[in-house]
Amino acid sequence: MRIYIPENLDIFELTHNNPPSFKPYKLDKLCYILHLINAIPLMDKNIQGEDFVPINAKKLQDKIQNYKKYLNYLESDLQIIESDNHYVVGEKSKGFRFIERYRTPVKSMQVEDFTFRNKLKAHKNRKIESVKHLGFLTKWFNDKLRIDYDYIDDFLVQEHNLKIKDKALWEYDRVRKKYKHPTNQMVHAQMSAQRLKWQDYNLMLDDNVYRFHTNLTNMPSRIRNAVTYDGQKLISLDIKNSQPYLSTILLSRDFWIVQKFERNKNNSLSIAFDEPQSRYFSYLKKINKVFNEIKSDTLNISHINIHNNDSYIMLGEIPQSLINNEFQDYIDLVVSGKLYEFLEDAFLQELGIELKDRKEVKAAVFQVLFTSNQFKGQAEAAPKRLFEQKFKAVYDVFAKIKSKDKSLLPRLLQSIESHLMINIIAKRVSEEYPLAPIYTIHDSISTTEEYVEVVEQIMMEELTKAIGHPPTIKQEVWCKSNMVKHLETLKEKAKVVA
For residue 126, how many other CB atoms are within 10 A of its CB? 10
The count of C-alpha atoms lying within 13 angstroms of the C-alpha of 108, restricted to the half-sphere facing its C-beta, is 14
- Per-residue pLDDT of 483-492, as tens digits, reads 999 999 999 9
Average pLDDT over residues 48-56: 85
Give me the pLDDT at residue 249, please.
86
**Could you tell me if residue 100 is inside a domain?**
yes
Average pLDDT over residues 20-49: 90
- Give the DSSP letter string of 249-296: HHHHSEEEEEEE--TTS--EEEEEEE-HHHHHHHHHHHHH---S----
Residues spanned by the domain of 69: 1-130
The total domain count for the chain is 1
Q: How far apart are CA 469 and CA 334, in angstroms?
A: 10
Dihedral class, residue 262 (left if φ above 0, else alpha if ψ from -120 to 50, else beta): beta
**How sure is the predictor about 253, in pLDDT bands with cuts at 50, 70 and 90?**
low
- Report whether 101 contacts 7 (CB < 8 A): no
Give me the pLDDT at residue 276, please.
38
Give me the pLDDT at residue 18, please.
97
- Per-residue pLDDT of 108-128, as tens digits, reads 999 999 999 999 998 888 889
**Could you tell me if residue 399 is inside a domain?**
no
**Could you tell me if residue 81 is inside a domain?**
yes
**How sure is the predictor about 47, in pLDDT bands with cuts at 50, 70 and 90?**
confident
**How sure is the predictor about 275, in pLDDT bands with cuts at 50, 70 and 90?**
very low
- Report whether 35 contacts 96 (CB < 8 A): no
**How sure is the predictor about 497, in pLDDT bands with cuts at 50, 70 and 90?**
low
Backbone CA torsion sign across 349, 350, 352, 357: negative
**How sure is the predictor about 266, in pLDDT bands with cuts at 50, 70 and 90?**
low
**How sure is the predictor about 296, in pLDDT bands with cuts at 50, 70 and 90?**
very low
What is the identity of the amino acid at 162? Answer: L
Q: Say whether pTM exceeds 0.95.
A: no
**How sure is the predictor about 326, in pLDDT bands with cuts at 50, 70 and 90?**
confident
pLDDT at 308 over 60: no
Q: How far apart are CA 386 and CA 392, in angstroms?
A: 10
361 vs 238: which has the higher pLDDT: 238
43 vs 477: which has the higher pLDDT: 477
Q: How far apart are CA 416 and CA 387, in angstroms?
A: 23
- Report whether 209 contacts 414 (CB < 8 A): yes
- Per-residue pLDDT of 199-222, as tens digits, reads 999 999 987 778 899 999 999 999
Average pLDDT over residues 464-479: 93
Q: How far apart are CA 439 and CA 138, in angstroms?
A: 9
- Report whether 82 contacts 97 (CB < 8 A): yes
**Could you tell me if residue 327 is inside a domain?**
no
Give me the pLDDT at residue 61, please.
94
49 vs 93: which has the higher pLDDT: 93
Give me the pLDDT at residue 312, please.
40
Lowest mean pLDDT among 88-102, 313-327, 431-445, 462-476: 313-327
**How sure is the predictor about 176, in pLDDT bands with cuts at 50, 70 and 90?**
confident
**Could you tell me if residue 11 is inside a domain?**
yes
pLDDT at 430 over 50: yes
**Could you tell me if residue 67 is inside a domain?**
yes
Strand arrangement, sheet containing 268-274:
254-260, 268-274, 300-305
**Could you tell me if residue 227 is inside a domain?**
no
354 vs 154: which has the higher pLDDT: 154
- Per-residue pLDDT of 77-110, as tens digits, reads 999 999 999 888 878 899 999 999 999 989 999 9
Question: Comparing C-alpha atoms, which of 465, 426, 471 is closest to residue 446?
Answer: 426
pLDDT at 310 over 50: no
Q: How far apart are CA 200 and CA 194, in angstroms?
A: 8
Backbone CA torsion sign across 217, 218, 224, 226: negative
**Could you tell me if residue 3 is inside a domain?**
yes
396 vs 429: which has the higher pLDDT: 429
- Per-residue pLDDT of 332-349, as tens digits, reads 999 988 898 999 999 999
Q: How far apart are CA 343 and CA 350, in angstroms?
A: 10
Lowest mean pLDDT among 20-34, 157-171, 288-302: 288-302
Question: Comparing C-alpha atoms, which of 482, 473, 477, 479 is closest to residue 455?
Answer: 473
pLDDT at 259 over 80: no
Q: What percent of the chain has pLDDT over 90?
A: 57
Question: Comparing C-alpha atoms, which of 430, 474, 424 is closest to residue 451?
Answer: 430
Average pLDDT over residues 409-414: 88
